[in-house]
Structure 1
Amino acid sequence: MIIVLNGYPGVGKLTIGRELAELLKARLVDIHTLYNLAFALTEFRTPEFRETVRRVEEIADELIAALPSDIPVIFTTVLTGETGWAMEEWQRFLDRSDQRPPLVMVHIVCGLEENIKRIQSPERKGKGKLQGAEVAQRNHASSKPLIGSDLPYTLRLDVTALKPEAAAERIAAHCSAVLATIADLG
């Protein structure tokens, strides 16, 4: 199973992902794990940046392919709009799920005030994560659609008032229901 925690910066994807990985005995691949080498050695959004990310993702995909098939893999990401970059990333998730079905999309959202509080959290500093309130305000104002909403196993989860543990439990329950549905159909 591939589980994608998709949402704007500061909604709690990584924190929830850690809890979910523990619950499901899954592997967690955070977007910053894939992007930090490119951030450190290239300029953002340049061809060199994108090529570095591609190469890191190729290594990750090789390692994922070597995992036992019963180990879920959780990704955190921000897939919005339909830019070339976002669509390339989306295709990579579709390809991964062909090898490790099913693909479960979880769109994590939270209210603006809570998003601002989270995005300004001191824990984000020094981790290459966006921190400004203006980022949350811009994202809420533009509200580009999150990619993958049309998949059959997509869950939209508002975590404004949820603790990470509760959010992870809801996602785990959703994943169990998806697997049960597939087994019933199979």
Structure 2
Amino acid sequence: MACFIYINGYPGVGKFTVASALSKLIPRSRVFHNHLVIDPVAAMLDRDDADAYNDLRTTFRRHALDTIATHPALADKTFIFTDARESGPLGSEAAQNYKAAAEERGVPFISIVLHCDVDENVRRLGGRRCAKDGEGASNTKLTDDEILRKIREEETIFQFGDENEMCLDVTSLEPDHSAFLILQHVNAIHHRLDKDN
């Protein structure tokens, strides 16, 4: 059964790495990471012009989600999304776009919130600095420790708070193990939904 899996967490917590590992465990799944929206928008507009930047990013995201939700060729695909959304109005509205797309497609929406302790988060961010020099690395990924610490102090990661949501501390977990735990959670939801029908 196809579903939408929405992995949210602070920058550098390991969302893309876990999503990639998870996609190997779920047949006919695709990863749609947040930088597929961020990078093209950042190539056109600076974040200094916050209103224009956020408007274009919202338009871009909604168009992509509409395509994913309605295109017949994608009907049997599970999509694994990554995001870094805070609980403020802009962040919660953006997160709700993913849930609305799942409802439009008629598939379960499963929210996964990844978190780890600050020191581990900073260590993982350091790995990004090394990878950023590599081919294909995103230019917009956060690599500044101080900015990350400020984000973590000032922002709370958005949570849906519903029965399908899983909060997972990945501080001491390898990505493959995290992916396996998420898969178990997804399978339990599918089992419960099958039982209810």
| TM-score for the superposition, normalised by structure 1 | 0.90
Q: C-alpha deviations, 1:131-161, integer Å up to 9, x for none?
A: 111133223333514231x111100111111
Checking the alignment, whether the CA contact within 8 Å between 1:9 and 1:130 is kept in structure 2 is yes
Q: Output the amino acid matched with 2:25.
A: L
Distance change in 2, residues 1:15/1:43 (3 Å): same
Q: Which residue of 2 aligns with 1:11?
A: 13
Aligned partner of 2:102 in structure 1 is 97
Q: Over aligned residues, Cα RMSD in angstroms?
A: 1.8
Q: Where do residues 106-145 of structure 1 align in structure 2 (5 Å cutoff)?
A: 106-121=112-127, 122-124=130-132, 126-127=137-138, 128-142=140-154, 144-145=156-157
Distance verdict in 2 for CA 1:58–1:69, change over 3 Å: same
1:2 and 2:4 matched: yes
TM-score where L is the length of structure 2: 0.85
Moved more, 134-143 or 73-82: 134-143
- 1:19 to partner: Cα distance: 0.8
User: Which one of 188, 192, 195 corresponds to residue 177 of structure 1?
Assistant: 188
Counterparts in 2 of 1:38 and 1:68: CA distance versus 1, 3 Å = closer
Question: In the alignment, what sits opposite 1:69?
Answer: 75
Structure 1 partner of 2:37? 34
Structure 1: distance between partners of 2:157 and 2:95: 13
Number of corresponding residues: 184
Is 1:50–2:58 an aligned residue pair?
Answer: no
2:171 corresponds to: 160
Q: What residue ranges of structure 2 are gaps of 5+ in the alignment? A: none
**Cα separation, 1, equivalents of 2:43 and 2:144:** 20
Q: Which amino acid aligns with 1:38?
A: V
Structure 1 pair 63–184 and aligned structure 2 pair: CA distance change class (3 A): same
Quote how far apart the aligned CAs of 1:177 are: 0.5
2:5, 2:80 within 8 Å by CA — same for their partners in 1?
Answer: yes
- Structure 1: gaps of 5 or more residues: none
Q: Within 1, Cα distance between the matches of 2:162 and 2:175?
A: 24
**Partner in structure 2 of residue 147 of structure 1:** 159
Report sequence identity in percent: 22
Q: Using the alignment, how far apart are the partners of 1:140 and 1:46 within structure 2? A: 20
Give the Cα separation in 1 of the matches to 2:54 and 2:15: 22
